[in-house]
Structure 1
């Protein structure tokens, strides 16, 4: 499997995750993965240790975090046979979720997401699926803004909107040596996602009042539930 040794449990989690998204009706597409860090020969020269993307582009700035194909949006599928063909082969492709159709995703750092989630819970607002990455970014899922006017978030806020034409990596994709995980997984009982407006308003308020954490600060992870 290239130059990376993957545990069978890691592969099984990727395969199970891909299958579960398809069964949920969420379209997915394969993304590249991160090869084991180490020294890799390129044109007779050793590359320094570090993350190496399966795309093999030595200039890649997003190892394991970009689509396998430039036609990912059209290729995304929930067809079980295509999912089996892609994820039950030898390559541990990460799982990409296109946004802007079934859902949008709002991305923020831990301290902003934590404050926004606390506010939403205190106001008894609906909270949908929430995932977090090993890089400290949190992703809040909402209903898609279908038919809504184009949205531009205020400049300078640490928020990213993933809508039409964008995507996110889904759990349990691997980044920086660890898995993207669900803090609040999609519910099979109440699959309807929350409206985007309260989520975004809470995130913007949290971002505007943000105290940027220092290196020695401890930012509490929000309580699940």
Structure 2
């Protein structure tokens, strides 16, 4: 693999790590500029809705974040330089997450007018849902790429991430109680952020693996 390509793969991995950490920080910082906003009770989408004082800033950031994940997704495929359909699928899942939860959520705001969901809200929900499904499926394909024989710890970690992802997104989306103030519904923001934290830790782990692999390849090429 050429040195220039190796460098781009490492850059993509570093961008992904920085983006995951930055997104969490930006969400918490911007939440402080929205009076009455609760990180535990309110969704991230409501922070970017038109009524929010930080709407445009967060929407712009999500678009940028989406492009970073798409950039990483394309170079992810090049990092695993062998013909494996699971690599291609995992690459597209990362790209879909960037398109849905990143660019799509940034361009289409979750606005409610006169108590009704707007078309923008429906599109926001749809593209965000596509991104969430992509995030949930990623560990199932990654465990086939980084095989059990090569890394049993990562295999177990992938199953844990998938399980935690399913539980948190279920808590976020399913209404267990019809009561408006039930704990499950009251802390939707918490479940959403736990899902995001779980996925970002996994993406960072993948990025570190890719970065270290490329460093070893670069070192091996330099010794030739």
TM-score between the two structures when normalised by the length of structure 1: 0.25
Query: 1 or 2, which has the higher helix percentage?
Result: 2
Query: 1 or 2, which has the higher strand percentage?
Result: 1
